[in-house]
Amino acid sequence: MSDASYLHEEQVPRISVASPSDYFALLKPRVMSLVVFTALAGLLLAPTPPHPLIGFASLLAIAVGAGASGALNMWYDADIDALMTRTRKRPIPAGRLDRESALAFGLVLAALSVFTLGYVANWFAAALLAFTVFFYVAIYTMWLKRWTPMNIVIGGAAGALPPMVGYAAATGEINLASVVLFAIIFIWTPPHFWSLALLKSEEYGRAGVPMLPNVAGEDRTRLEILIYALALAPLGVAPWLLGFASLAYGLVSIGFGVALVAAAAAVFRKREGEAARVAARRMFLFSILYLFVLFLALVIEQTAHVFALI
Amino acid sequence: MVKDMTDAGDKMKDHSGAFGGPGVVLTKEQARSRHQRNIAIGATIALLAVLFYAVTIVKFGAAIINRTI
């Protein structure tokens, strides 16, 4: 502690020992990287790609906006983060950073990211980014997450918006292609998080978060995962069917879509013991790979298209 | 009055606190983390300044050299 013994206990200033890496952890870097990746896919869909520096600065602003959302989420959810093994090592519950600092950090970054995107790209994209941050923090984190098992379904819109923000940053508008990318992530989110919820239902229950397995039961959750996977697989092929992705993308999306449905079917069938846990874990991990591969395929072929234009 | 202000200034220089106390003396850990945070903030602001400068130049485009002499 500081040598301030002449002060009363409540007067002793709280001096932070948080390192830059603690603040970086507030940004949820892994979520941020997925946001950058999906926003890049949206940005590259633009008929005329922006100047590389404008594109880079736009992606940076979108990434910082996503990071701000993460920081504000950790500020609000510090109480339940402390109750779950998955989240208890985060900077606030671990005691390395106080909530007020996280709130200030998140608000400053949110304002900075929106202003930056408005300046470097356009104010429509900036407004969309501001809406994304608002939706994630106010609608999902503060309202839906602790209130309804549909939290992930509706809240998933926040995570699905980055491709639209990316496209808007490049063009100043949104189009059908960017809406399709939004829809893919939107439908992908529930089965992804419900697979995790099946594995961590005890922890979610302890934290009082009404995830679907805790509220509607595991069997209903398994059915919902299968239904969403069956909806997602054809939706993943839509970019090819609608003509803004190549046949190569179409084949990749069909192959991975079939594998995703197979993983979801395994979760639906295997309901007891270790086999059920393995199936849920496999579905959770494969869903990450599924989304990554689909967007990687889009990014690769759109990048090739951009180089062909040059 | 002036003497009081001069005294206050001297106190600030030798890091003394109110009522002649020792003031807030940072522990090694606090000083190190504050130093690291300062460097991170400084680097971020410098990078932002460079980024905004470069973006401004790009947005101007060729028009930036098109001026009357």
Distance CA A175, CA A243 (A): 13
Give the torsion sign (CA, A259, A263, A268, A272). Answer: positive
Task: Confirm whether B4 is domain-assigned.
Answer: no
All structural domains of chain A with their residue ranges: 22-174, 177-301
Substitution target from A7, A12, A17, A122 for chain B, most B beta carbons within 10 A: A17
Distance CA A308, CA A223 (A): 45
Instruction: Please return the burial class of B64, using the count of CB atoms within 10 Å of its CB with bins 0-12, 13-18 and 19+.
Output: exposed
Residue type, A235: L
A120 neighbourhood in chain B, CB within 8 Å: 55, 59
List residues in chain A touching B: CB distance below 8 A: 1-7, 13, 15-20, 23, 51, 53-54, 57, 60, 119-120
Nearest to B24 among A4, A20, A60 (CB): A4
Task: Confirm whether B12 is domain-assigned.
Answer: no
**B34 vs A15: CB contact, 8 Å cut-off?**
yes
A1 neighbourhood in chain B, CB within 8 Å: 27
Distance CA A121, CA A272 (A): 52
pLDDT tens for residues B46-58? Answer: 999 999 999 999 9
| Residue range of the domain that includes B59 | 25-69
Quote the CATH superfamily of domain A22-174.
UbiA prenyltransferase (1.10.357.140)
pLDDT values of chain A reduced to their tens digit, one per residue, 310 residues:
445 555 565 565 678 889 999 999 999 999 999 999 999 999 999 998 899 999 999 999 999 999 999 999 999 999 999 999 989 999 999 999 999 999 999 999 999 999 999 999 999 999 999 999 999 999 999 999 999 999 999 999 999 999 999 999 999 999 999 999 999 999 999 999 999 999 999 899 988 899 999 999 999 999 999 999 999 999 999 999 999 999 999 999 999 999 999 999 999 999 999 999 999 999 999 999 999 999 999 999 999 888 887 7
Distance CA A256, CA A71 (A): 33
Nearest to A6 among B17, B37, B55 (CB): B17
Residues A99, A64 contacting (CB under 8 angstroms):
no
Q: Which residue has the tokens 């072929």?
A: A301
For A68-135, the DSSP string reads: HHHHHHHHHTHHHHTT-TTTTTSTTTTTSS-HHHHHHHHHHHHHHHHHHHHHHT-HHHHHHHHHHHHI
Residue of A nearest to B44 (CA): A20
What burial letters (b/e) apply to A178-214, b meaning 16+ CB within 10 Å?
bebbbbbbbbbbbbbbbbbbbbbbebbeebebbbbbb
**pTM, rounded to two decimals:** 0.88
Substitution target from A1, A5, A6, A119 for chain B, most B beta carbons within 10 A: A6
Helix ranges (H only) for chain A are: 20-26, 29-44, 52-76, 78-81, 99-120, 123-134, 151-160, 162-171, 176-199, 201-207, 212-215, 218-241, 247-269, 273-309
B19 neighbourhood in chain A, CB within 8 Å: 6
Is B33 within 8 Å of chain A by CB? Answer: yes
Substitution target from B11, B24, B32, B38 for chain A, most A beta carbons within 10 A: B24
Structure tokens at A84: 């779950």
Total domain count for chain B? 1
Which ipTM score applies to this complex?
0.83
Looking at the complex, report in whole angstroms how far the Cα of residue B36 sits from the nearest Cα belonging to chain A: 7
Nearest to A53 among B19, B39, B58 (CB): B58
Nearest to A17 among B25, B29, B40 (CB): B29
Say which DSSP state A140 is in: I
Residues A74, A26 contacting (CB under 8 angstroms):
yes
Is B38 within 8 Å of chain A by CB? Answer: no
Structure tokens at A189: 């989110």
